[in-house]
Amino acid sequence: MATTPIHDPTAPPLPGATTETRNTTCYMCACRCGIRVHLRNGEVRFIEGNPDHPLNQGVLCAKGSSGIMKQYSPARLTRPLMRKPGTERGAGEFVEVSWEQAFSMLEERLAKIRATDPKRFALFTGRDQMQALTGLFARQFGTPNYAAHGGFCSVNMAAGMIYTIGGSFWEFGGPDLDRARLFVMIGTAEDHHSNPLKIAISKFKRAGGRFISINPVRSGYSAIADEWLPIRPGTDGALLLALIHELIALGLYDREFLVRYTNAGELVNIDEAHDDFGMFVRSSVPDEEECFDPQNKLWWDRRTNRAVVTHAENADPYLLGEFTLDDGMRVKPSFQLLKERVEAYTSEWAAGITGIPAETIRRLAHEMGITARDQKIELPIAWTDMWGKEHDTVTGNPVAFHAMRGLAAHSNGFHTIRALAILMTVLGTIDRPGGFRHKAPFPRPIPPCAKTPNTPLAIQPNHPLDGLALGWPAAPDDLFVNDDGTPVRIDKAFSWEYPLAVHGMMHNVITNAWRGDPYPIDTLLIFMANMAWNSTMSVGDVRRMLNDKREDGEYRIPFLVVCDAFQSEMTAFADLVLPDTTYLERHDVMSMLDRPISEFDGPVDAVRIPVVPPTGQCKPFQEVLIELAGRLKLPAFVRKDGSRKFRDYPDFIVNYETEPGSGIGFLAGWRGKGGEKFMRGEPNPRQWEMYAQNNCVYHYRLPPSYQYMRNWNRGYLEWSQRVRIQRYAEPILIHVYSEVLQKFRRAAQGKGTSRRPPEHLRQRIETYFDPLPFYYEPLERQQSDLAKFPLAAVTQRPMAMYHSWDSQNAWLRQIHAHNHLYVNPQVARAAGIEDGGWMWVESPWGKVRCMCSYSEAVEPGTVWTWNAIGKAPGAWRLAPDANESRLGFLLNHLIADELPAAGGRISNSDPVTGQAAWYDVRVRICKADDSDPKETWPRFDAVPAAPGTAQSTPAWLSWFAGRGMRR
Amino acid sequence: MRPDLSVLLLTTLIGAGQGLYLALVTVQVYALFGLLPAQDGRAFFAPGSAIALVLLVTGLAASFFHLGRPERAWRSAAKWRTSWLSREVIVLPAFIGLVFVSGVAHFLHYGPVLAELPSGIPVDATVVLGLVGTVLAFALFLCTGMIYASLPFLREWASPFTVVNFTLMGGASGFTLAAAFSVWTAPSLTPFLAAWALILTLLAFAGRLASLVRNAKLRPKSTLQTAIGIKHPRIVQTSQGFLGGSFNTREFFHGRSRGFLRSIRWLFPVAAFAIPAALLAAFVAGAGAVLLPVAAVVQYAGLLAERWFFFAEANHPQNLYYQAIG
Amino acid sequence: MTQLALVIDLNVCVGCQACVTSCKQWNTSGSAGPLADFNPYGADPTGTFFNRVQTFEVGEYPNTQTVHFPKSCLHCEDPPCVPVCPTGASYKRATDGIVLVDYDKCIGCKYCSWACPYGVRELDEERKVMTKCTLCVDRIYDTALPEAERKPACVLACPTSARLFGDIHDPASAVSEAIRKNAGYPLMPEWGTKPSNHYLPRRKTAVRIHEDELVRSDNPLKIDGLLPKPAKAEPSLDDVTSW
Ligand SMILES: Nc1nc2c(c(=O)[nH]1)N[C@H]1C(S)=C(S)[C@@H](COP(=O)(O)OP(=O)(O)OC[C@H]3O[C@@H](n4cnc5c(=O)[nH]c(N)nc54)[C@H](O)[C@@H]3O)O[C@H]1N2
Ligand SMILES: Nc1nc2c(c(=O)[nH]1)N[C@H]1C(S)=C(S)[C@@H](COP(=O)(O)OP(=O)(O)OC[C@H]3O[C@@H](n4cnc5c(=O)[nH]c(N)nc54)[C@H](O)[C@@H]3O)O[C@H]1N2
Ligand code: SF4
Ligand code: SF4
Ligand code: SF4
Ligand code: SF4
Ligand code: SF4
Ligand SMILES: [Mo]
């Protein structure tokens, strides 16, 4: 065997090549891992995880490892494009224009809108992470019509938890798997925090932790769970409420935690006739409630057997019982109300709804309760609470949860998620070791202080919007509605239809703008969202709306601008296409003003620094906004004399301050003249350099005593106040009972002095603004004929694909070239459908032909497929016969964006938050006819290659960095 | 396994070439002992060798199409100590060379007597070449067969039947061809050759049927359980990890339906053995010589089908890993 | 003698495919590359990958296990792919047991791939030579890299650290220990190929709840007075005993 090889496997593959390594931040997805990009002769040779980065600690996912094929993809847009005059939207016919032409076109149009009616300009952005800048631009422009993708993504998760515990999963907080002993993951397939979660789950399992997954499907993470609990979609609320029932019934709740850190002991007025029915009783009413919970509520003290102000020295409240105040008012601690609420939610009841046996539910509750109580963690970390009590230790109950869109993407998700947050609270696991931990800037007051304006007067020509486009309503008076109660925003967020639509409702924009309800708009700018395809419901209708004209021949949405990096399905509908750079070509910030990448132990922000020059004429959208803002003379971007304030985006990032002299800007690290300050401090001209020298990341580690119990931790709250993370240093008591919701219900009941909902929404508000979590069937299910449409249809994120982004990626698309519908074999066989056979899936709203795959890893009442694998022919520079369009399909064709409702139609969304209800759809399946074509349906016409993309695609390719692409 | 045309041609053509050459040598040896009329080198042996040569060279040429890098084919002689393929690569050209030399010798009537048998029969150079050729032909059958038979996990192939059947089928097709060839060049030999062709065809038939029976009874040694190391009666692959196919889904699957496979299993014994045997028998029983070229053509076609089936039937354990697109 | 290998922990692999593409990107520009892709943007795209992650379902609903199963060349100790190679292009290194292909010798006859029971060799359709996992031989000895990074690309990328790398002949190595402790096993042992790569099985953490953990002395319901005391009038032993 020992003949010497000719090919020396360890010799340098390209002798004499120049090599270098640069750090930046990945953006093949929103996780934003630190990466080291190796270049050879200026070409990307290898992208690896940066081992010195706190987020991914050196690891990288399948997408991140395929960045090369994204960078050199033939689908890259490289020139600004204008729809070819005389051609239809959607046909994808374009002519090239110069940036100057594009800018002047936009400047002229937008200046006119701004000078007349700024709300006729709408800016909506998809899976971006630069909402601080896009939001600033929109606000400065003066339009309320701005939001990012949150409304169609997971706003239920954000709102449900932030309105309960002041923080959430997602980028805002997460399970402390380092110390947890039991980990319960619900409705999660991949999540935003992809790599860190994987790192953590594996460590957790190796340390002998017990991992339970609750999900109709057993894929990905659920695969390695110790126990899989298949649940019927949309029914988790029932399960969670039954768990709470069981824990309370057995006394497995953490009483001390509930007493001191939540509103469980606070007394609620239960006198139905009273105007304040359902409100907490207050010891005194301050003139103006600021945006924090004043500590003026009452407890019923066990020792003195009388009402006292909460947290009074030596007082210990009853959590249960009914009491009468001196003035005769009947009150109950809110925990008593919770107990009464869950009384009927027995395990047997939940079993019938969820499909999980009652015995299992009880055991689950027992496991949680016993693990929490008997495996208590005590860390020798002293801290002081907001009431001045000093604690020698930080304690924790090591039961951790994580949940995502399996809960969020249902129209009952808000209450389900509140139930989850309350379950976590009852177990005493909030911001404690082994439980849930916050990430800066969370926790925030409940709700956070940011507010939208509450009147249309906030919109004035040539003026910035007087308030934020997105905020956190605390009461009906915070709603952004006209005097008659109708919505101000094009998406109807913050209206009586969706009062807590805190992330906006991007999924409503096209339909509403098309219908002119509440009003027509002029220009719609879409950034990084594929609204003509996978982020839209009723895909076919939306594509028609984008292309639909008024009687006078003008498009109903007159001007559509799309900024994308690739030729997507959406770009085909644009009047103007702005070619963005890739993440390897631009500056970017993961800012504390936005959604940073903080860790449990303190705030973290990060930057992206270009590692290769822009391709063609690609221009970062950041630069586009800075340029446009200068041209439109938006106040924050120009000096008094009207001249441009910022040279470019990097200059803007360094020098922009939220207010002159505030010392708060986009980046928290290396502030101050010489980089000696953090969080606040004067602009530092060398800030980018300092980030570059430090792995592109700034990580502030809090002292251990500030790392836990942050809702009530004096040290932490005062620190966060000093560094201006928050305005107040006030305790953030957990809202077991939500007075905020009660305020809306009260308005619907005609009590109090606030605004009242319009008549047709009165009942809706009264029902869904329940101060305690409750279970109701998802709205679509309530309306569906379950005998006719017996199955739930959901999607999962494939770990190796990001939404629609990666079909242009030659490596990733080999892993998911097309998709099948996974069906439990019993169900498929009953319908006569073979494994691998063709089938129809039909919902009340549409139908799809696709291929079936048998799977024993799916609950029989559910069918599922990978999200966003199916593509329209020609998009993404795929050949018209590419698998994606021929064999792949999009489940979205089955999902309706609106449901029939009393007042006509209503968005298919959660009635509290406006969260798009992707996973509510009901379907039935049947075998496709043998004579049917063996390809998916519906089909669309192929679009041609846009100018600037590769005009032909190769029969083969091979990449060898330094020698380029051979084909 | 995927039946690659180049390999089908290679193995069938050289098999026939070997068989034909063996037929020529048989004739010569019989003649040497006076059991058959002696034939003229130029009229019979040289053209016979030429045909064998054409078959062998065509087979060899076809084999180049199987190689990704034919320009490096010379390297493949390197590992004769361990690799049957390497051995084949040595023996095949050697055999071709020998057939060539022996053909030329016959053509030139070059026949110095090199030895004499005790019975006084002179052994000339062509006879010696023929004997060496016989050894090489059998060696080549062994190499070709062992290429397949030496892969233990290709259980359909890993049996002595593979070598024996390659030999018998090569012999049968070569003798049938020789019989057909003799119709024009040496009609007096035709019955003799046809009789041997019939015998070999029947033997090959028997051998091949036996291997079919054996293979039908094979129980896979590797299962999904051993492939992934999980002990559970029900394991199903739901994704092989990619959807568009890979080398491993192309090289190891025949890509045809079960029905097609089944029909070839019925077809090839008929075409390769039954019909030729019937035609040969008919000739031996006195029917017209025109049957012989027909028998040769049908048999060759049948053997191509046989070889297709030989590959298609072989179920590589690697296929356990490539069962589901998804 | 050293035998380098991967040990793959099925207990934590979530099937994310990171090892698949990190392998591709490292090797396409490395000493094994380039690794071609065919129809990269057309029908049935296909290409040369050294590592694949597959999914199996074990059992029937609801007792289903989903198993993600990464597979690359197992660097057999007795590799059947080596002796069959007619050119010597396929070889096993004496120093570290890595099985490699000499791309400059290979004639692309594919015979070695037939001789591998595991389906891990892939002919690169553009260069027409056989390829397979190299254990990143061009990384692991690269002294320009920091010690900690002299590991295969897939091992560094794997987010769950399901892939361990080391010398399985060194009883003190982490991989040997992992195999010993967690009952690591080889694939298709029936062929005597002695694969160096090993797999670690699923390990299940279960709990047992004891009745006495549910009836607790620290039951907070006691404090809130809700564990009802029987009324005085209810029958008691006092009514019937009189000693
Ligand atoms: N690789 C990759 N990563 C991504 C993305 C991507 O496209 N690719 N997208 C990013 C984005 S935008 C988001 S929002 C996150 C989403 O992250 P996840 O929420 O983890 O992603 P989904 O795939 O929507 O997962 C939903 C899961 O919920 C389950 N499910 C559906 N209905 C129910 C239910 O009623 N109850 C329960 N218990 N489970 C249910 C589904 O089976 C599925 O497993 O992922 C982010 N990360
Ligand atoms: N059926 C179903 N539908 C769903 C979901 C589901 O679970 N099931 N999930 C929903 C969720 S949670 C979300 S968040 C949405 C996501 O939906 P979107 O955010 O609308 O869709 P993406 O596919 O992420 O595509 C956004 C666009 O970003 C472009 N892009 C990529 N990189 C860049 C860049 O660097 N610059 C610019 N300018 N553009 C870039 C891509 O080319 C693509 O056209 O989908 C929703 N749709
Ligand atoms: S999870 Fe993957 S794609 Fe997302 S940022 Fe990290 S490496 Fe990049
Ligand atoms: S796994 Fe296959 S290719 Fe790798 S050494 Fe073993 S036999 Fe050879
Ligand atoms: S394909 Fe290459 S490595 Fe494999 S046996 Fe043939 S020559 Fe050897
Ligand atoms: S060791 Fe290297 S070559 Fe082998 S699978 Fe891992 S990354 Fe690929
Ligand atoms: S990278 Fe790790 S977790 Fe992901 S598929 Fe590969 S082995 Fe499994
Ligand atoms: Mo999302």
Starting from the CA of residue C101, give the closest ligand. 5
pLDDT for the residue numbered A1:
43
**Per-residue pLDDT reduced to its tens digit, A501-560:** 999 999 999 999 999 999 999 999 999 999 999 999 999 999 999 999 999 999 999 999
Low-confidence ranges of chain A (pLDDT < 50): 1-2
User: Looking at the complex, does the CB of residue A755 fall below 8 Å from at least one CB of chain B?
Assistant: no
CB nearest C54 (choices: B85, B239, B244): B239
Amino acid A27: pLDDT: 96
Task: Report the Cα B272 to chain-centroid distance in Å.
Answer: 12
**Nearest C-alpha of chain C: how many angstroms from B220?**
11
Look at residue A209 in the predicted model and tell me its pLDDT: 97
More confident residue, C23 or A151: C23
pLDDT at B84: 97
Q: Which residue in C94, C85, C128 sits closest to B78, CA to CA?
A: C85
Backbone angles phi, psi at B216, to 5 degrees: -65, -25
> Within 6 Å (CB) of ligand 7, which residues are found?
C 13-19, 53, 68, 70, 158, 160, 162-163
Q: Does A818 touch chain B (CB under 8 A)?
A: yes
- Give the three-class secondary structure for A156: helix
N-term to C-term CA, chain B = 22
Per the CB < 8 Å rule, is A853 touching B243?
no
How far are the Cα atoms of A39, A238, A694 from residue B294, in angstroms, in the given order? 67, 79, 83
CA angle A51, A57, A59 (to 5 degrees): 90
Structure tokens at A431: 């911001």
Question: What rounded mean pLDDT belongs to chain B?
Answer: 95
- Read off the pLDDT of residues C120-131 as tens digits, 9 standing for 90 and up: 999 999 999 999
**What residues of A are in contact with residue B244 (Cβ under 8 Å)?**
814, 817, 883
B240/C39 touch (CB, cutoff 8 Å), yes or no: no
Round to whole Å and give the CA distance between A649 and A624: 9
C98 lines ligand 4 (CB under 6 A): no
3-state secondary structure of C176: helix
Identify residue A336 by its one-letter amino acid code: Q
ipTM value, please give it. 0.96
Residue from C48, C81, C87, C104 whose mutation best tests the ligand 5 pocket (most atoms within 8 A of CB): C87
Report CA-CA distances (Å) from A379 to A177, A388, A393.
Answer: 15, 20, 5
Query: What local confidence, expressed as pLDDT, does residue A362 receive?
Result: 98
Chain C window 59-118: which residues touch A at a Cβ cutoff of 8 Å?
A: 59-62, 64-68, 82-83, 88, 91-92, 94, 100, 102-105
Handedness of CA A392, A397, A403, A408 (dihedral sign): negative
Average pLDDT over residues B138-148: 97
Give exposure, A850-867, as e/b (b: 16+ Cβ within 10 Å): bbbbbbbbbbbbbbbbbb
Distance from CA of C88 to the nearest CA of B (A): 6
Q: Would you list the DSSP string of A80-132?
A: -EEEPTTPPTTS--EEE--HHHHHHHHHHHHHHHHHH-GGGEEEEE-S-S-HH
* H helix runs in A522-572, sequence order: 539-546
Q: Are A655 and A646 in contact (CB under 8 A)?
A: yes
Residues of B in contact with A809 (CB under 8 A): none
**Among the partner residues B78, B238, B241, nearest to A815 by beta-carbon distance:** B241
Q: How far is the CA of A799 from the centre of ligand 1 (A)?
A: 10
CB of C197 within 6 A of ligand 6: the answer is no
End-to-end alpha carbon distance in chain C: 85
Calpha distance A167→A742 (Å, rounded) = 20
Separation of CA B38 and ligand 7 centre (Å): 74
Which ligand gives the minimal distance to the CA of A916? 2
Delimit the domains of chain B by residue range: 5-320
Contact between A814 and B243 using a beta-carbon 8 Å cutoff: yes
Facing residue for A46 by CB, picked from C25, C91, C148: C25
Pocket of ligand 3 (CB under 6 A): A 26, 28-29, 31-33, 56, 60-61, 63-64, 194-195
C8 close contact with A: CB closer than 8 A:
no
Distance from CA of B141 to the nearest CA of A (A): 26
Q: Are C157 and C70 in contact (CB under 8 A)?
A: no
For strands C46-47 and C37-38, give the pairing. Answer: antiparallel
**Residues from chain B contacting residue C88 (CB–CB below 8 Å):** 75, 78-79
Give residue-wise pLDDT tens across range C172-219: 999 999 999 999 999 999 999 999 999 999 999 999 999 888 988 889
Of A820, A854, A883, the CB nearest to B244: A883
- Chain C positions in Cβ-Cβ contact with residue A817 (cut-off 8 Å): 44-45
Residue C227 has pLDDT above 60, yes or no: no
- CA C110–ligand 5 middle distance (angstroms): 5
Q: Is B2 exposed, middle or buried (0-12, 13-18, 19+ CB in 10 A)?
A: middle
Say if residue C228's pLDDT is above 70.
Answer: no
Are the Cβ atoms of A856 and B236 closer than 8 angstroms?
A: yes
Domain B5-320, CATH class in plain words? mainly alpha
* Mean predicted confidence (pLDDT) in C90-113: 97
CA distance B291 to chain C (A): 39
State the DSSP H helix or E strand holding residue A684, giving kind and residue range, or none if neither. none
pLDDT at residue A897 in the model: 94
Per-residue pLDDT tens over the stretch B240-286: 999 999 999 999 999 899 999 999 999 999 999 999 999 999 999 98
The rounded percent of chain B whose pLDDT value lies above 70 is 100
Angstrom distance (rounded) from CA A839 to CA A828:
10
Q: pLDDT-derived band of residue B120, with 50, 70 and 90 as boundaries?
A: confident
Q: Sign of dihedral through CA atoms A243, A245, A249, A251?
A: positive
User: 3-state class of A420 per DSSP?
Assistant: helix
Distance C70 CA to ligand 6 centre (A): 11
Chain A residues within 8 A of C30 when measuring between CB atoms: 13
CB pairs < 8 Å spanning B and C:
179
Residue B257: CB partners within 8 Å, gap ≥ 6? Answer: none
Taking only the tens place, the pLDDT of each residue in A447-470 is: 999 999 999 999 999 999 999 999
Q: What share of chain A is helix, strand, coil (3-state, %, to 5)?
A: 30, 20, 55
Residue numbers of C between 195 and 224 with CB closer than 8 Å to A:
202, 204-207, 209, 213-214, 216, 218-224
Interface test with chain A among C41, C68, C133, by most A beta carbons within 10 Å: C41
Q: Does A824 contact chain B (CB < 8 Å)?
A: no
**pLDDT tens per residue across span B150-207:** 999 999 999 999 999 999 999 999 999 999 999 999 999 999 999 999 999 999 999 9
Give the residues surrounding ligand 2 with Cβ less than 6 Å away: A 126-127, 149, 152-153, 527-531, 534-535, 563-566, 568, 570, 580, 582-583, 621, 795, 803-805, 867-868, 891-892, 918
Helix (H) or strand (E) holding C168: none
